[in-house]
Structure 1
Amino acid sequence: MKCRHFLFACSLLLTAPFTLANSSEFVIDDIRIQGLQRVALGAALTYVPVQVGDTVTPFRTKQIIRSLYSSTHFENIELLRDGQTLVIKVSERPTISSIIFEGNDDIKDEQLQESLDGSNIIVGEPLDKTVLTSIENGLKDFYYSIGKYSADVTAIITPLPRNRVDLKILFEEGDAADIAQINIVGNEIYSDEELFDQMELKFGAPWWDFMSETRYQQQTLSGDMETLTSYYMDRGYLRFAIDSTQVSMTPDKDGIYITMNVSEGEKYTVSDIELVGDLIGQDEYIKAITPLRKGELYNQAQVTYAEEFLSKYLGRFGYAYPTVTTIPEINDDDNTVKLLLSIDPGKRIYVRRINFEGNSTTADDVLRQNVTQMEGAWLSNQALETSKAQLSRLTYMEEVEFDTVRLPGQEDQVDVNFSVKEQPAGSFNAGIGYGDRTKLSLQAGIQQDNFLGTGKRVAINLNTVSYQQSVQLSYTDPYFTIDGISLGGSISYSEFDGSDFNVVSYNSKQYSVGANIGYPINAVNRINFGLTYANVELFNRSFYEQTERFYEQFLDESNPDAAVKYESLQASVSWIRNTLNRGLFPSAGSSQRASFSVTTPNSDVQYFKTMLDTKFYFPLTRSQRWTVLARARLGYGNGYGDVNGVEQIFPFTENFTAGGSDTLRGFENNTVGPRGVQRTSQSTIGTPDGVAIPGNPENDLLFTSQRSLGGNAMAIAGLELIVPTPFLDVEYDSSVRTSLFYDVGNVWDTEFDYDAYKDLSLSVNSDPLLDYSDWKNFRSSAGLSVQWVSPMGPLVFSFSRAIKERPGDDAKFFTFNIGQTF
């Protein structure tokens, strides 16, 4: 019996697989893979570098194992032999079911996931456990670099059914170590305090100075070292060097000591400047414009600027990739340095094609009209920057960027790719309202600056309130010709009834037709000419001192209540200059618009009108999120000549007005300025024949209206600090803007005779009489403005407080406007 059991055991041993490590070479009759779960057999066999008929050798064994591991699907591999069959026994890597981050405050989940993606630690992919250790160490190094030396990172793997795992990465960030002290050793020329002022890292800052960076950060320290080096080298210390830097910790790991050992050296003066290389035939000019001078102290910033300046200059001539290198020849005997500027312009680069992407609405031809860089011409960095600026000024462009792509195999050709991001190209307004004065009001209008993607501007506006109904159509083609000549026109009709508005009471009907043409002077300057015919009818007038002077020249003595009608032909010229970096919400540059219009001598009314509107944006930070806006608007108009012996005056219908979102915030729309003045006789003397004779004019009563009549002169100014909008990321800066503002200004009447009315008594309920000819009766306000480019167009919300107001003014804390931004 025992012998039979022994023979059975021997037979099992002979037929069982055994490891190849203990086997001799053999020829493969079959290949069998065991342990596959997720990986398909066919996919696994593609990583096996042998096939049936091959001979298994020790070298082939290592090759098979190495190839299977390289597939990243397996974490354990064993090779066995079963007769002439190669048996590959594998254990698959577990699949990542979920990744959880816990305890991370300094690093966002998105940043961590991006880092893991680079190591192929992704949900649904196999988990390579060997990578986790390097990830843990890398994250710890990051925390150490920002002064958190007690930080710890641990990866926890939780097995799940079906060979899956949950991966949790736990963070114990701890507190960052503060800088206990910074020591600079070796400085004699500049004191510690002077050098500390240049550094971003601080120590010993008072509690109220919360802006100081007292936490140690390795990257910030590197930046401070570069800053100190530049500080010295920009002042002539060419040999300055930071010999060593030591960073040590306090025993409790709460404090950091930083010590920098520096060598200041001596001041060096520029003894000579020599330009060598290919100066593209512009030798004398390049030498003249090089911003470096003999006899001056060496200045590293000036040297860098000179290199960049010369590179940009060469770029204007098509040398897009020049190399400008400064080689200093230092003479330590007399502390001088000779600067050798080596210039290699490279090959002149030509533009093969200009491409646009991102413009889903605007046609390529419209964008190409604003590009000064031409296809087939040499590449000019100046032309590209000008093109970008002109595209950015389009109101329907939010962002514009460009890059140049060198063509494979073509050393002298590039493609220029403009990437644009469009934004709403117009505004739509519609509303219904009710007010004590306006009663029922309806408004509707649409303006499209990029009509059907053609770049043409089309607008229609309808307005109806209890006192006015109007309609206006306008059209402008900014590129009527290929040279950039614009052509436009407008037609409008309006009816006005002031009887319910408690202002200068009159009715009017007016229609007008106009056309304009514009000529570009250069990339930033333009001049426009216009001609407008207007037909005006005034009736049901009320009697105000200022308006009667205008009515008198048209009155029919036989029918004094008849309507007043007049026609005019108005010629205008305007100059526009625009260097703004964007069409909407600019943050740098300036814009100016000056206009002058005058009615022709054959018109029924003869007057002129001039205006100046200017804005300047001064960015305070490199990102331009903090910007100062200074703006001003000036206007003046008056009559000229005489008609039928009657001296012409400025029509009151053309008066300037102020107040509201686009002029003086904090005051009701169009309420700032002169009021309508009425003078009423209080007594009459009867004659025997019953004719009434007015009494003494000195007894007349005076009444001033509650609303502004406007004036023929205006001066408005404003100062704004544009700030990042709270709670919104930087990506919203192109659609939402927040600013703190101060507005000041006035509207006045230069022809008003205050002395003729100042001694008269005021009637009951009359506002006080002011000298409406005095420009010094200004108003001012301050507050907060929020502007939003909504799908309906620009919306402006202003919260303001009147600082300086005059009797009778209608101050408003909140104002709202559609379609106008600063």
Structure 2
Amino acid sequence: MRKILAIILGLMLSGPALALEPFTISDIRVEGLQRVSEGTVFNYLPLDAGDTLNTSGMQSAIRELYRTGFFDSIDFLREGDILVIRIQERPSIANISLEGNKAIKEDDLRRVLADIGLAEGEVFDPQALDRIQQELVAQYYSQGRYAVSVDTRTTNLDRNRIRIAIVVDEGKTAKIRHINVTGNTLFTDEEIRTEFESGIPPFWKFWAKDDDYTREKLSGDLEKVRSYYQDRGYIDANVESTQVSISPDKRNIYITANVTEGELFHINEIQVTGDLVVDEATLRRLIVTEEGAVFSRKNMEQSVDNITALLSNIGYAFANVNPIPQIDRDNLTVDINYYVDPGKRVYIRRIVFEGNVGTKDEVLRREMRQMEGAWFSQAAIDRSKVRLQRLSYFDTVELETPPVPGTDDQVDVVVSVVERPAGSFSVGLGYSEIQGLIYSLSIQQDNFLGSGNRVGAAVSSSDIISSFNFTYENPYWTDEGVSRGFYVRYSEYDRGAANISTYTSSEAAAGMNFGAPLTEIDYVRAGVGVRSTDINIGRFVFDSEIPDPEDPDDTICFPDLNENDICFESYYVPIDGDPLSNSLDHNGDGVLSADEREFDVYDLTLSWSRDSRNHFLNPTMGSVQRLSLEASGPGSSREYYKLFYRYAKYIPLTRNGLTFSFHGDVGYGDAYDDYDNTSLATVQDTELPDGAQCLQEEVIGLDTGLPFFEHFYGGGVRDIRGFDDNTLGPKDPFCRAVGGDFKVSGGVELAVPTPFTQGSGSRIALFIDVGNVYENVDAFDADLLRASAGLSVTWQAPVGPIIMNFAVPLIEKDGDRTESIQFSFGSTF
């Protein structure tokens, strides 16, 4: 309106000067310009020297100049034969300030302002400011913020400039207080609202925003009502009307949806027509709708997806499958014709990698399952992305398939990656209740010189273990994906401090391993190595000297579960105080000839794994299986083998992360040498001494099978939770865990979506764990199983992964060491 009034005013003011008679322009002079150049004016002005100016030409010229949006007023004056154009420019925008906008990010809002011409340095257009005010109000309304107010203020500055302030009071999001569905007789309100995003969350779900009202969310929910009915055969079901009422204070929303259900329809006939580049029988096998069945829109769409996926995997990247339902309302039946238009078959011209500054192209290319020159395959594209995401040196991986210009049967694959630092020098600090403070120093390079090879060295120290290790692995030692790695390690381990019967060990080892993929999800590994282990038999804490075996009156004292001394008279055991000594040399009278022994072992390892999980840290679907064999080769100080199998399955229950999972673990080991235990020392009295309170059935007097330093152990923050680390299973006569040759455990979990941290790798899970360790398979007794239940919290915090368990034993026995709270954390700086 201001612009129109200015044009009229300009015509009125210029009219008297030029209305007398037309004249020929000898020259044109422009007055009043500040920022706009004369050249810009002449560029838009449809007049030039020598033109004859009349009233209609003047009006047309004024309109053209106003149309530029640069000017507030324009006057045409005549001085003789000179045309004088007197102009007043619109002010320029010196500054735009934004206040109060939290729901809409400032960067997004400034982009919108710039798109309509409201940006610093631009010419100010009052109409644009009015538009943005109205648009902001509409945008906040769509978010359910009906109490919003948007105030725009302008301040004139010197040099014909203006300052704009946009002040937003967003108000609170209106909350949904009630959703009522009317007209439904076939299904209850609760059934229809099962998958609604809108709703009233339970009181304990305080972080949820289900009750926040937005127009888009309501529209999506109403579509879900139609889908719910149509997926169950009610094709004509519809939401006829929706009433949304808002309270006077604009804080509460009440929704009523009126439903018409219609009649139930069945499928009469199914046809597949079009350009069938795949035989019809194959396509029909992909159709999940069946003749005679109740019509389901969901099944019809799934059939379309199945056929489209098949075609896209054999090169038809732009295939279109159009389901055409023919509805017979008289007979309540539907004929469905799946019309197939495959389009042209497409092949890959080139694969291009972007963003890999330090990583060689060949490292990415060897993970690709889509090949150059091959037919397009969506499955190969998707699998390539998964394999690239599994590499540890990329933050993000994106794949695009732009068409090749000038062709309709070629596309390129553009792989865009964002590298993360593959090398690290880290000083680590961690804590666990069993190890205490854990210190570590490591140098790790997962992408050595951009080759994808892994090189690392680390040292660590805690209350129970000190270690050093060096590793190297080439994951593509051959072009077929065979890996080769080497390792060297040394460790010192205080088993007594780890709740294991009293001894310490030091171990040096070196070896080589190989791996090879069998399929996309199956992998095998094999390795050989040599290991030298020194065992130092420890002793319990005594109040007096070691008793004389020949003096029955001597007294020996051991700490009980509360760290108080329990002293026993006339009770003789070997001087190591537990039955694990049967793996060491003894002399004829059963007394140890020395406290330290060395075992040399030639390690042989073989493993198979199948992993179809969608995520390594926090999976929500898929499964993982691992079967491994560890054995000592012929010529080792002890000859034995260990088998271990694990299976875990993850089942998504909802789309927002609610996941049910279960797992089972079995470990078994035994010796295969001809080691003779018949002359070894045994406990003379098989009954427990007074004060040593643990389950009689789990006390062993003679260890056989695996050497004790290879036993399985149970309990702990990552094992059978709620029980102290390594304390379950066989015990010595003084209730200290000694481990066993057979372990069985399992459990179920219900992982719930974590509030505030979706996508961070953190998780909260309700769990039940069951399991135990046994002396051997023959000793297995279901009555000896332990069980616990509780809540586990895993948080991928900036300081490292934190695990905290809150557990309650469901099945426990005398002498068990339980823990209600268990936690561990680690960090790198």
Q: TM-score, with normalisation over the residues of structure 2?
A: 0.78
| CA displacement, residues 13-70 of structure 1 (integer Å, 9 cap, x when unaligned) | xxx9987753654444433322222334445544445444555455654554454445
Question: What secondary structure sits across from 1:157 in the alignment?
Answer: strand
Residue range with higher mean Cα deviation, 339-348 or 745-754: 745-754
Q: Does 1:96 align with 2:93?
A: yes
Find out whether 1:76 has 2:132 as its counterpart: no
- Contact 2:514 2:525 survives alignment (8 Å): yes
Who is 1:636 aligned against? 668
Letter in 2 for 1:332: R
- Please point out which of 602, 605, 615 is paired with 1:572: 605
Give runs of aligned pairs for residues 458-607 of structure 1, distance below 5 A. Answer: 458-464=455-461, 469-495=466-492, 504-506=501-503, 508-539=505-536, 543-552=576-585, 560-561=593-594, 563-607=596-640
Matched AA of 1:776: L
Of 122-131 and 243-252, deviating more is 243-252
* Farther off after superposition, 383-392 or 538-547: 538-547
2:727 to 672, 675, 686: 672
List aligned pairs for 1:422-821, cutoff 5 A: 422-423=419-420, 425=422, 429-430=426-427, 443-464=440-461, 469-495=466-492, 504-506=501-503, 508-539=505-536, 543-552=576-585, 560-561=593-594, 563-624=596-657, 626-628=658-660, 630-643=662-675, 649-658=705-714, 661-663=717-719, 670-673=725-728, 677=732, 703-705=734-736, 708-717=737-746, 722=751, 730=758, 733-734=759-760, 737-740=762-765, 742=767, 744=769, 748-751=773-776, 776=784, 778=786, 780=788, 782-788=790-796, 794-798=800-804, 800=806, 803=809, 807=815, 809=817, 811=819, 813=821, 815-818=823-826
**1:24-43 paired onto structure 2 within 5 Å:** 24-43=21-40
8 Å contact from structure 2 (residues 650, 661) kept in 1: yes
| Equivalent position amino acid for 2:671 in 1 | G
> Which of 386, 391, 394 in structure 2 is aligned with 1:389?
386
Q: What's the CA shift string for 1:322-369, capped at 9, x where partnerless?
A: 111111222333222211111000001111122233444433321222
Cα pair 1:607 1:648 within 8 Å, conserved: no
Q: Matched residue of 2:133: which SS?
A: helix
* Compared CA separation, residues 722 and 55, structure 1 to 2 (3 A): farther
Contact 2:582 2:677 in 1 (8 A): no
Whether contact under 8 Å (1:665, 1:798) holds in the other structure is: no
Structure 1 contact 96–126 (Cα < 8 Å) conserved: yes
Which stretches in structure 2 are left out of the alignment for 5+ residues?
Answer: 1-12, 540-575, 679-702
Against the structure 1 CA distance between its residues 447 and 716, is the aligned structure 2 distance closer, same or farther, given a 3 Å change threshold?
Answer: farther
State the alpha-carbon separation in 2 of the partners of residues 798 and 257 from structure 1: 42
Decide whether the 8 Å contact of 1:201 with 1:214 is kept in 2: yes
CA shift digits 1:494-516 (9 cap, x unpaired): 45567998964545443322222
Residues in 2 aligned to 1:610 and 1:408: alpha-carbon distance in whole angstroms: 57
| Deviation at residue 227 of structure 1 after TM alignment | 2.2
Structure 1 unaligned blocks of 5 or more: 1-15, 678-701, 755-771
**320-329 vs 187-196, which deviates more?**
187-196
**Two-structure CA RMSD over aligned residues (Å):** 4.4
Residues in 1 aligned to 2:176 and 2:438: alpha-carbon distance in whole angstroms: 65
CA 1:123–1:290 in structure 2 vs 1: closer, same or farther (change >3 Å)?
same
Do 2:466 and 2:491's aligned partners in 1 also have CA atoms closer than 8 Å? yes
Task: Output one character per residue of 1:307-328: Cα deviation in whole Å (capped at 9) or x when no partner.
Answer: 1111111111110111111112
Q: Does the CA-based 8 Å contact 1:615-1:630 persist in structure 2?
A: yes
Q: Provide the C-alpha distance between the structure 1 equivalents of 2:535 and 2:177, rounded to a whole number of angstroms.
A: 81
**Which one-letter code corresponds to 2:666 in the other structure?**
L
Of the structure 1 ranges 252-261 and 457-466, higher mean CA displacement relative to structure 2 is found in: 252-261
1:338 pairs, out of 325, 329, 335, with 335
Name the amino acid aligned to 1:340: N
CA shift in 2, pair 1:746/1:324, >3 Å: closer
Q: Aligned residue for 2:543?
A: none
Alignment deviations for residues 774-799 of structure 1 (CA, whole Å, 9 cap, x no partner): 88353647455343375x8x533436
Given that 2:670 and 2:741 are in contact with CA atoms closer than 8 Å, whether structure 1 keeps it comes out as: yes
**CA distance in 1: counterparts of 2:618 and 2:203, whole angstroms:** 37
1:155 Cα offset (Å): 2.6
Residue 194 of structure 1 deviates from its aligned partner by 6.0
Q: Provide the rounded CA distance (Å) in 2 between the counterparts of 1:116 and 1:161.
A: 23
Distance 1:72 1:241, change over 3 A: same
Residue 236 (structure 1) aligns with: 233
Question: Does structure 2 conserve the Cα–Cα contact (< 8 Å) formed by 1:395 and 1:583?
Answer: no
Once the two structures are TM-superposed, the CA of residue 412 in structure 1 deviates from its matched residue by: 0.5
**d(CA) in 2 for partners of 1:743, 1:180:** 37
Distance in 1 (alpha carbons) for counterparts of 2:202 and 2:501: 63
Judged with a 3 Å threshold, the aligned counterparts in structure 2 of structure 1 residues 563 and 309 are, in CA distance, closer, same or farther, namely: same
In structure 2, the partner of 1:762 is none
For 1:710, the aligned partner's letter is G
Instruction: Give the CA deviation at 1:193.
Output: 7.3
Q: Do 1:720 and 1:739's aligned partners in 2 also have CA atoms closer than 8 Å?
A: no
Identity across matched positions, percent? 34
Residues 721 and 232 of structure 1, relative CA distance in 2, 3 Å threshold = closer
Alignment coverage as a number of residue pairs: 753
Distance 1:251 1:273 in 2: 54
Separation in 2, partners of 1:436, 1:194: 47
How big is each residue's C-alpha offset from its partner over 1:114-164, in whole Å with a ceiling of 9 and x where there is no partner? 432332222332221012333333334445556666755443322222222
Query: What is the CA–CA distance in structure 2 between the aligned matches of 1:180 and 1:291, rounded to whole Å?
Result: 40
In 2, Cα distance between equivalents of 1:197 and 1:501:
50
Cα gap change, 1:445 to 1:176, in 2 (>3 Å): closer
**Alpha-carbon shift at residue 643 of structure 1 (Å):** 4.5
**CA shift in 2, pair 1:744/1:819, >3 Å:** farther
Equivalent of 2:325 in 304, 316, 328: 328
Q: Counterparts of 1:526 and 1:288 in 2: how far apart (Å)? A: 31
Per the normalisation by structure 1, the TM-score is 0.79
Give, in angstroms, the shift of residue 419 of structure 1: 3.0
